[in-house]
Structure 1
Amino acid sequence: MLKEHAKLMSAFMASGEVIGRKKLQKMIFIAKKLAFPFQERFEFHFYGPYSEELTLRVEELCNMGFISEVKEKKGGYYQYRYSVTEEGEDFLKIYEKDMPFLEDCLTDMNGQSARFLELVSTVLYFDNLPKEEVAEKVFTLKSKQKYTNEEVDEAYAYIESLKKVIH
């Protein structure tokens, strides 16, 4: 059971601090699609791919004291900041982590906006479809985000750049 928690902890450790629940969801989904061994199941949701399992696992890690969750009021909404605690670092020392390049990948993703990661994860969610159909899905399902064709192209280019990091 704790093996999956350890994988998630490795992701937090590699990322440093993650700001935002949506961003965290997208980072783990993208990493999973890039073949990192995350087991959480994702479904398409309001903000793109979402995993209830991931939400629960993060909550468990917070309850165990391995992850720090800080809730901040930001304008009209709350934002969450996540980082590994000292206890979490000690916990991770016990587990063997075999995820080379995870840090490079997640550090890069953590530097991107949540909006862009939402686009990238949506593109990856429909990666079994031709690019034109994916773009159509993005424009339909994510119409409020007002993504452009250029941004969809950027998402594809970004995915390719991440694949180069891990291969």
Structure 2
Amino acid sequence: MLKDHVRIISALSASGEVVGRKKLQKMIYIAKKLSFPFQEKFQFHFYGPYSEELTLRVEELYNLGFIEEIKEKKGGYYQYRYSVTENGKEFLHLYETEMPHLKECLASMNEQNARYLELVSTVLYFDNLPKTEVVEKINKVKAKQRYTEEEIDQAYEYIEELKKIAKPN
């Protein structure tokens, strides 16, 4: 159990700061699909892959004082910023797990916007299907996002880039 919490703190530490709950969910899901040892179970939800376990772990880490969650009002909604606290850094120093290349992958993902990561994670969620069927699924389950074929192609290319970062030769 504690190892799973340490991995989440490690991910946040490697990212510096993550802006948005949805973005954090997508980053962890994509990292898991890249074979980083995240254990959270994900289901397909309104905004693509979602893990209630991850939400609960983040809440626990916040309650323990290991991560900071800053709630900001942005227009008609709230946005959350996540970072590791000093207590979290000390805890991580005691229990840190080695995840080579995680920092580079998360840094790259953190530069992307949440909408794009939603597309990338959705492509990965249906990665057992041929690309034509994935495109059909995206157009059906993500119709409101209006992803273009160019964006979908870019998502596939980005996944290949991330795979190279995660497992360099």
TM over 0.5: yes
- In structure 2, the partner of 1:145 is 145
Amino acid at match of 2:42: F
Check the 8 A contact 2:16/2:83 in 1, yes or no: yes
Alpha-carbon distance, 1:91 to partner: 0.2
- Distance in 1 (CA, whole Å) between partners of 2:80 and 2:152 is 27
- In structure 1, the partner of 2:71 is 71
- In structure 2, the partner of 1:108 is 108
Structure 2: tracts of 5 or more residues without a match:
none
Matches within 5 A, 1:1-167: 1-167=1-167
Q: Percent of aligned positions with the same letter in both sequences?
A: 72
- Secondary structure of the equivalent of 2:81? strand
TM-score (normalised: structure 1): 0.99
- Secondary structure of the equivalent of 1:40? coil
Count of paired positions = 167
After TM superposition, the runs of 4+ consecutive aligned structure 1 residues lying more than 4 A away are none
Alpha-carbon distance, 1:97 to partner: 1.2
RMSD: 0.5
Structure 1: tracts of 5 or more residues without a match:
none
Alpha-carbon distance, 1:18 to partner: 0.3
Alpha-carbon distance, 1:2 to partner: 1.0
Alpha-carbon distance, 1:96 to partner: 3.6
- Distance in 1 (CA, whole Å) between partners of 2:62 and 2:166 is 29
